[in-house]
Copies of this chain bind each other. A is one copy, B any other.
Amino acid sequence: MEESSESPLVLLHRPPSLVFMDELLGRNYRILDINTSSDPLPIFLSRHAASARAFVNIARLPVTAELLSLLPNLEIIICTSVGVDHIDLAECKRRGVAVTNAGDAFSEDVADSAVGLLISVLRRVPAADRYVRSGNWKKFGDYQLGSKVSGKRVGIVGLGSIGSFIAKRLEPFGCIISYNSRSQKQSIPYKYYSDVLSLAANNDVLILCCSLNDETRHIVNREVMESLGKDGVIINVGRGGLIDEKEMVKCLVQGVIGGAGLDVFENEPEVPVELFGLDNVVLSPHSAMITPGSFKNVEDVAFANLKAFFSNQPLISPVQFD
């Protein structure tokens, strides 16, 4: 496709620091980069974006009904994240706007992080690292021992591509895997629990990697944590809103659960300060999802979706509307 006034107009939003997809996009489409203007967003959009047919949303800009109303010709939103809880999907459906996500591009990195957080919590890796760095090993001797990883019963909430990768990685640790998801998966050998409460009751660890929506918001509440129990550990690489964070803080402080590894929080980058003093908690700044080694994958998926859309081909990683 040659660049010309006939090329489709693609709206782009990305973190200012991120040079990402520039070359690919610029070669094939006319690009309208939100970052190039200092106008308030609604004014900028109504002045310049009325003819935009696609929106490549790299910086997770919330797409509300109001924002959509300023983009009357929009046909597709290309997200470079896996979760699309920043998009008003109901309004997209109503307007006939397709939405795509990052597909599997992040799955390996997120699964790697989830396993890393799990071992880090159980074996207290960051706490032990702090102990050595502060000189306490020399001063006070051995650090408290952690908890065994091998053989733990691990319940995965959401057995999509990330959850499956996590399960596959934990199998050779001798972990016993079970899962909860909207429906039981065929040809999956792991035990299925139809609700998170019984999943928690029958496991030592809960790993959250499902999407956040009205059904899954606060899917881990006080009752689930009590059911998981005092040695139980929660790993969250999904979204902060999956857990009732206030209750989780209480449960961690009171010893209702044993520990947590958290990459996501309800109100990022706010993190409850009560967690900062806890050695049974590992905190991660929403960085599970990617490494530079995966940028290329994400670019590829996003660009392939865009190209498929404008060629009337099936989308690579469409988000299903309920």
Contact = CB atoms under 8 A, between A and B. Distances in A.
A293 B109 contact: no
A128 B287 contact: yes
A211 interface: no
Given A117-B125, A125-B126, A284-B125, A293 B133 contact: no
A150 B284 contact: no
A123 B286 CA distance: 12
A142 B129 CA distance: 22
A62 interface: no
A276 interface: yes
Given A112-B173, A125-B125, 9 more contacts: A112-B149, A116-B125, A120-B125, A128-B287, A132-B276, A146-B291, A148-B291, A169-B169, A171-B172
A270 interface: yes
Interface string A127-155: 01111110001100111011111110000
12 contacts: A108-B173, A112-B149, A116-B125, A119-B120, A120-B129, A125-B284, A129-B283, A130-B130, A142-B286, A143-B285, A145-B290, A151-B293
Contacts of A15: 142
A107 B169 CA distance: 18
A34 interface: no
Q: How large is the interface on A (under 10, 10 to 19, 20 to 34, 35 or more residues)?
A: 35 or more
A211 to B, nearest CB: 22
A73 interface: no
A194 to B, nearest CB: 27
Contacts of A125: 116-117, 120, 125-126, 282, 284
The 3 tightest CB contacts between A and B, nearest first, are: A116-B119, A148-B293, A126-B126
Interface string A270-286: 11000010000011111
Listed residue (A128, A143, A286) with the most chain B CB atoms within 10 angstroms of its CB = A128
Interface in A242-263: none
Interface string A22-36: 000000000000000
A19 to B, nearest CB: 14
Contacts of A126: 120, 125-126, 129-130
